[in-house]
Amino acid sequence: MAKKVAVLAVNPVNGSGLFQYLEAFYENQIPYKVFAVSDTKEIKSNSGIPLSADDVIAHLKGHEDDYDALVFGCGDAVPVFTQHAEEPYNKDLFEVISAFGNKGKLMIGHCAAAMFFDIAGVAAGKKLAVHPLAKPAVQNGKPTDAPFEVDGNFHTAQTENTINRLLPQLIQTLK
């Protein structure tokens, strides 16, 4: 049976990254639910298009066992993250990543995803593909310059432009 995926979308989110995962999951009958890292389901793409997530991250917290995998959908919210780090939805973000990581679930993401997995303390020793600007922030994992990395339960892509190289193996794992 296909694994069930919780997809996180920051606000704003890179639509190219988010929808490369979603359309691939859809086409391969992999069930998913999209959670906005926000206090509302209504978010925007980096490119300014309003879109609606299925739910907000507050409602994913405590329900991690309903899912087999987590996707971190990166976006322009990340460069300004520190200005909003105290928002409840961003505190929920780290709690959710920690819960998924500590339960050994599949951890998937691109761009700064590896940095968030690392800060949450669940990626120690794992090889992680990561955006060059976020690479120095990865302290406990092993950040690389590769377009993508698969190490145990971690599937990471350097940017949204290399998700296409991560997807074939990932889809097989999720099916």
Please report, as ranges, the residues that interact with its own copies according to CB under 8 A.
14-16, 18-20, 22-27, 32, 34, 45-53, 160-161, 164
Q: Minimum CB separation from its own copies for residue 34, in Å?
A: 7
Q: Which is nearer to its own copies, 50 or 125 (CB)?
A: 50
Q: Which is nearer to its own copies, 23 or 65 (CB)?
A: 23
The answer to whether the CB of 7 falls within 8 A of the CB of 34 is yes
- Distance, CA of 61 to CA of 169 (rounded, Å): 28
Q: Minimum CB separation from its own copies for residue 170, in Å?
A: 14
Q: Which is nearer to its own copies, 17 or 141 (CB)?
A: 17
Distances (CA, A) of 76 to 111, 112, 167, 170: 11, 10, 22, 25
Residue 104 in 3-state DSSP? coil
Q: Minimum CB separation from its own copies for residue 88, in Å?
A: 24
Q: Which is nearer to its own copies, 119 or 167 (CB)?
A: 167
Q: Minimum CB separation from its own copies for residue 117, in Å?
A: 23
Please give the full DSSP string across 137-169, using - where no structure is assigned: G--SSEEE-SSEEEETTEEEESSGGGHHHHHHH
Q: Which is nearer to its own copies, 13 or 99 (CB)?
A: 13
- Backbone torsions φ then ψ of 6, nearest 5 degrees: -95, 125
- Backbone torsions φ then ψ of 92, nearest 5 degrees: -60, -40
